[in-house]
Amino acid sequence: MIGILVCGENHFIVSGPLPDPATALALARNWSIIQIGQTTHPSLQGWSIVTRAFREDLAWAVVAPGDGDITPAVAELLKELSARGITIRKD
């Protein structure tokens, strides 16, 4: 399953199941600051960043709290997903 995780002005296209609110925030924090040699916590290994995906493949969306505003392009994508009937969960 592929979805989008939005955290402030950052967003990630993610492979994995719809994360619960705590996991979504943990994923955003984990991926927002890249640290060389860091390993992913075992509880987060069910998700990974996808580098290529089509809009039509997105099956879930989560907006987690973060710094900055959602970019206009991501806001437009969220509107498109909502129009397709995908619930945009705001944590």
pLDDT-derived band of residue 14, with 50, 70 and 90 as boundaries? Answer: very high
- Burial degree of 42 (CB within 10 A; 0-12, 13-18, 19+): exposed
Tokens of 60: 């879930």
pLDDT score at 37: 72
Q: What mean pLDDT is predicted for residues 18-46?
A: 86
In the chain, DSSP finds a helix count (H) and a strand count (E) of 2, 5
pLDDT score at 48: 94
Strand 10-15 with 48-49, pairing: antiparallel
pLDDT in tens, 68-86: 899 999 999 999 999 999 9
- pTM passes above 0.85: yes
